[in-house]
Amino acid sequence: MIFFELFKSFFQIGLFSFGGGYAALPLIKEQVMVVHDWMSLDEFADIITISQMTPGPIAINAATHVGIKMAGILGGMAATFSNILPCIIIASIVGFFFFKYRNLKIMQAVMKGLRPASVALIAAAGFSIVLLAFFGEKISIDSLDLVAVVIFAGALFLLRKYKLNPILTMLITGGVAAFTYMLIDKI
């Protein structure tokens, strides 16, 4: 039954995605593309793009969108609820112990060790998305999308150098991409 599969998959994602929403992306990708074959790489990239653009945490938005794609509104609700349920349980337990024992050296050591692992999960997800944006499903020199590379570099420049609002950056790069790809198609 699809509702049970959505619940189980996104509960596991919520349970093991330490480090925030971006850290969950490799886990979501594994479940929706490899374990269940619910969508292609292009569909997954579209879900991530939409999840990034909509308000709220990316992992929860992705769960909602995947659930809706697979089983409508009720599927979206099942995937979303199951994705946040482990967080509620774990945050309550960890919060209790953290505030009770936060001054212990072992607790500080555990927290210090979890930081690089979280960064690694986020970097892995980011790297996968960059490869997809630049090359598509097949990584080769022939499939390199130079327009995507230039738009990426421009967006990174605007965000880092001028601290431009991310929403404004997305609107600008979306407009540039639409214009550029339409121009290329006409040639």
**Rounded-to-integer distance, Cα 8 and Cα 22, Å:** 20
- What's the pLDDT at 53? 85
Burial class (CB in 10 A: 0-12, 13-18, 19+), 15: middle
- What's the pLDDT at 114? 87
pLDDT classification of 187: cutoffs 50, 70, 90: low
- What's the pLDDT at 180? 95
- What's the pLDDT at 176? 96
> In this predicted model, what pLDDT tens digit does every residue of 53-112 receive, in sequence order?
888 899 999 999 999 999 999 999 999 999 999 989 988 998 998 899 989 999 889 889
> In this predicted model, what pLDDT tens digit does every residue of 35-48 receive, in sequence order?
999 999 889 989 99
Cα 71 to Cα 32, 76, 126, 162, distances in angstroms: 13, 7, 28, 42
> In this predicted model, what pLDDT tens digit does every residue of 78-90 receive, in sequence order?
999 999 999 899 8
In the predicted structure, residue 138 carries a pLDDT above the cut 90: no
Closest CA to 20 of 62, 49, 77: 62
HSE-CB at 70 with a 13 A cutoff on CA atoms is 30
Q: What percent of the chain has pLDDT over 70?
A: 98
Backbone angles phi, psi at 37, to 5 degrees: 50, 45
At 91 the three-state DSSP class reads: helix
- What's the pLDDT at 186? 67
Burial class (CB in 10 A: 0-12, 13-18, 19+), 134: middle
Q: Which two tokens stand for residue 28?
A: 């979501």
pTM score: 0.64
- What's the pLDDT at 153? 97
> In this predicted model, what pLDDT tens digit does every residue of 12-31 receive, in sequence order?
999 988 767 777 888 999 99
**Rounded-to-integer distance, Cα 18 and Cα 88, Å:** 13
Beta strands per DSSP E along 36-127: none
**Mean pLDDT over the full length of the chain:** 91
> Between 73 and 115, whose confidence is greater?
73
